[in-house]
Chain A
Amino acid sequence: MEFTREIYWNVGHGAATLVPMYLLVVVAVGVVVWAFIKKREVYRQGLPLERTDQLGSRIGSMLENAVFQKKVTQVKVPGLFHGIFFWGWFILLIGTTLIVIQADFTDLLFGYKFLVGNFYKVFSITLDIAGLASIIFLGALFIRRYFFRPEGLETKRDDAIMHGLMTIILLTGFVIEGSRMAVTELGTPVALWSPVGHLLAQSMAWLGEDALRLVHKLTWWFHLLLVMGFIALIPFTKFRHILTTSVNYIFADRGPKGKLRSLDLEDEDAETFGATSVKELTWKDIFDADACTLCKRCQDRCPAWTTDKPLSPMKVVNQIGEVAYNEPEANLIETLSRDVLWSCTTCRACQEICPASIEHVSKIVDVRRSLVLMEGEFPDEATMAAMEATEVNGNPLGLGYAARGDWAAELGVKTLAEDPEVDVLYFVGCYASFDKRNIAVAKSFIKLCEAAGVKVGILGKEEKCCGEPMRKMGNEYLYQSLAMENVELINGYGIKKIVTTCPHCYNTLEKDYRDFELEAEVESYTVFLERLLKSGSLKIKSEGLECTYHDSCYLGRHNDVYDAPRSLIEAAGGTIREMDKNRAEGFCCSAGGGRIMAEEKIGERINVKRVNMALETGAPTLVSNCPFCLTMFEDGVKGAEAEDKLRPRDIAELLAERL
């Protein structure tokens, strides 16, 4: 007995079948091509952006995420539901393609069949199980969406169409198989290689051959029509994500993570700066809206949204799409609204979790640029005052620039102006220079370097704010002037290595300053100190310490530094009781995106919410690695009335106490 089956059984393999079938295929594919040519026009309203370099790794990333569903399955439920459903569907697609290849090409033209014997057995049982898995997990997704709908999961007509259509396609597929097997395979060993079909065949056998053949033929054509409908609907429903999201993995931002596009401010012909309309965003910003599946993972993790602010990264992405398609002239500031735009802390939780590789943050910053550079607007007077203070004194706190290095005087730290021969330049940053609480961190870091025999220099009054908060707030002009001055100064001293205790400075110097040709290597103090510890030059006493640890957004998500700080805490004898939201899922302190300069007036206080998360661990100490976080937590413990229960500390302080 040969293990195979007759393709086109009962429907016939003549022109009467093939001609209408392939006509339908041509129509369906034609509709998709036509619709995407139209869509391309919409995308091309945006500015050009190079996203086809490193094509090999881009395609690799597409395979990893589209075929292997890497990002989607990072959230186990419903990610695995989607993953298993998709893999089932994808296997069915491969199986159907093999059938087409054999029946309409290799067999038709050369009389060659490969769906036979052992290969057929594997083929048959794989497709059978794939179909079953698809149905089960599509059902699971259906039940989740319609019976246990998580808050915020937008459910529209598209979702009903998609669930209905795919369920019927899968079911009719099995009916076709069952009716065919009832006539041709019942009682043969071949049937055992299609267990689901076999079960259906057994339950349908009572219909008798004539009825089965009729059912088979009608269902076959119905199934074909539905599948062609499914293909044709791709551009017009959320089915589009099959193509757009897959392609978005190719077009994804390949880093450096969190580095913003520098505006050309010298361009004499530029009339506008930043984005007020979709034409001033890039094509990718419009394409992103088509790649979004409304899974709301970004919204769930957004510190603004979860504290009752109006910003939902998902809505921002989709509103930009709606504008691009329906009213391209619309003013994005009005469409998105100022409260939404100013609420973002650029914490990157949205982008890090997005299973479609959408870039939320740069869109918001682009529109903020327009608000600041074209309208002279800020979220509040405090922010404007901080900008002006930075223009005058080089720091947003508004303190006299000449006092910037005063904190270091008693430690005998020299400025590069006094002695440029140093092992590392400590780029102190504004808060560690001027804010009393954070000066303690700077002093701790210096003590650690001294203990490890590292010669450190600072820039003192020559240092200026790195410009990060201003840049994220949209003030590209102020950022660039600060950046150029700092880079010229540092390059002028011929510095080889810079260490920062502020992850915002770190991210800016390490990534953004490269546009201005900063030469030195830049390192976060956590990584720097961990290396000194491992090499034995730094010795820390291990003294018991119960604590919880907060991953700052700019050391964590922006730079994937999760382990160095933890190993430092452990070396200091610390036991970390992790908060639920840790590492890449860490919850912002509220101060990123320039929000450190602004007042938080809408909704719940983000820092108090994070402090409450820390309190839930029961640990008496909240360790962090960022001056903004430390500042917000010192304030947050007061807001949460937990000053006697929780003490915010910086890693450098813990280590310096244990020298």
Chain B
Amino acid sequence: MNILVCIKQVPDMESKFKVAASGTWYDNQDLAWRMNEYDEYAVEQAVRLKEQVKDAELTVLCIGSDKVKETMKKALAMGCDRGAHIDDGESWAKEPFEIAGIIAEYAKDKNFDVIFTGMQSQDRGSGQVGVLVAEMLDLPCVSTIVDFAFDGGAIKAKRELEGGVKANVTVQTPALVTCQLGLNTPRYPTLPNIMKAKKKPMESIAVADVLKVDARMETAAMYFPEKKGGGLVLEGEAGDLADKLIAILKDKTSVLK
């Protein structure tokens, strides 16, 4: 079996974000970098699938500058067999269609049976890449999965829908799934696997070789939301609190009128 998992390196969400001088993306200064959370679920599930079917090769793909190799090493330490690094210092500026185009171009002749992606990235959050890759490769796609089982060439997945509703979906491979929180608990790499990861093959591909599509979207501006009224914490005895709350509701809202 041939498996691909696509990951993205994103800033830690606890970082101090600033809008870059360009005004269209965040500034890279003072950021800590890590694997996109949803991609961690994707890597974990891909490794579990590999462990289940045994005879499988698992490739991890990541687009970005040399810096993303650190994040790829974590995926390799978790159990991926080889890395495909699409070398692109400007990946942050690419819109989801271009990113999907790069991945599809890389994957088109490699006969992947299952492709895993996160359901969205924590920084851009378009939620489009996985679905677009499936469309470009003409593969069936199951998005936002929270449960995954593979049996005899078929994937049985559980999708998370709005309002806590779940849907059971069965799809024949080859197929692409996008992974949602709740799918699994990603493993912590063991030390021998961290050591082995350092020696696993890492192929580097120039982005120009795989970027065959044109951008369709342009980011006009990025900005922090305007500061509106903050929250209000009431303190004191229960009786006083109730009085204060009623006063506020009367004063500021129409619910008690």
Contact = CB atoms under 8 A, between A and B. Distances in A.
Interface string A372-413: 111111100100100110011110001111110000000000
A332 to B, nearest CB: 17
Interface of A: 265, 271-273, 372-378, 381, 384, 387-388, 391-394, 398-403, 461, 477
B14 A271 contact: no
A396 to B, nearest CB: 12
Given A401-B30, A461-B30, 15 more contacts: A265-B191, A272-B192, A373-B190, A373-B191, A373-B192, A374-B190, A374-B191, A378-B188, A392-B34, A393-B14, A400-B14, A400-B16, A400-B32, A401-B32, A402-B30
The 9 A-B pairs with the shortest beta carbon distances in the complex, nearest first, are A402-B30, A376-B188, A373-B191, A400-B15, A400-B14, A392-B34, A376-B190, A392-B32, A393-B32
A392 B12 contact: yes
Q: Is the interface of A mostly helix, strand, loop or mixed?
A: helix
Given A378-B188, A392-B32, A392-B34, A402 B16 contact: yes
A403 B31 CA distance: 10
A241 B69 CA distance: 56
Contacts of B187: 376
Nearest to A402: B30
Contacts of A378: 188
B224 to A, nearest CB: 16
B254 interface: no
Contacts of A461: 30
B189 interface: yes
B185 interface: yes
A270 B209 CA distance: 41
A381 B185 contact: yes
Interface in B114-155: none
Contacts of A391: 34
Contacts of B15: 400-402
30 contacts: A271-B192, A272-B192, A273-B192, A373-B192, A374-B191, A374-B192, A376-B188, A376-B190, A384-B188, A387-B188, A388-B34, A388-B188, A391-B34, A392-B33, A392-B34, A393-B12, A393-B14, A393-B32, A398-B14, A399-B14, A400-B12, A400-B30, A400-B32, A401-B32, A402-B30, A402-B31, A402-B32, A403-B16, A477-B191, A477-B194
A374 B187 CA distance: 12
A461 B29 CA distance: 12
Interface of B: 12, 14-16, 30-34, 185, 187-192, 194
Contacts of A381: 185
A399 B34 CA distance: 13
Nearest to B187: A376
Contacts of A398: 12, 14
A183 to B, nearest CB: 76
A398 B189 CA distance: 19
Contacts of B30: 400-402, 461
Main secondary structure of the interface of B (DSSP, over half): loop
A378 B186 CA distance: 13
B103 to A, nearest CB: 25
B70 to A, nearest CB: 10
A29 B186 CA distance: 59
A393 B185 CA distance: 21
B189 A376 contact: yes
A394 B33 CA distance: 12
A649 B23 CA distance: 46
Nearest to B17: A400
B190 A375 contact: yes
A328 B189 CA distance: 28
A377 B190 CA distance: 9
Contacts of A393: 12, 14, 32
Contacts of B192: 271-273, 373-374
A400 B185 CA distance: 23
A440 B120 CA distance: 39
A351 B187 CA distance: 34
Nearest to A378: B188
A381 B186 CA distance: 10
Nearest to B78: A376
Contacts of B34: 388, 391-392
A16 to B, nearest CB: 69
A388 B40 CA distance: 12
Contacts of B189: 376
Contacts of A377: 188
Residue in A272, A384, A388, A399 with the greatest tally of chain B CB atoms within 10 Å: A388
Contacts of B16: 400, 402-403
A373 B194 CA distance: 10
A401 B30 CA distance: 8
A534 to B, nearest CB: 42
B7 to A, nearest CB: 15
Contacts of A399: 14
A401 B14 CA distance: 9
A376 B187 CA distance: 7
Nearest to A369: B191
Residue in B16, B188, B189, B194 whose Cβ sees the most chain A Cβ within 10 Å: B188
Nearest to B34: A392
A362 to B, nearest CB: 19
Contacts of B191: 265, 273, 373-374, 477
A193 B187 CA distance: 77
Contacts of B188: 372, 376-378, 384, 387-388
A385 to B, nearest CB: 10
A65 B213 CA distance: 80
A387 B30 CA distance: 20
A367 to B, nearest CB: 15
A273 B192 CA distance: 8
B38 to A, nearest CB: 15
A650 B16 CA distance: 30
Contacts of B32: 392-394, 400-402
A387 B15 CA distance: 17
A443 B191 CA distance: 39
A265 B187 CA distance: 21
Contacts of B14: 393, 398-400
Contacts of A403: 16
Contacts of B190: 373-376
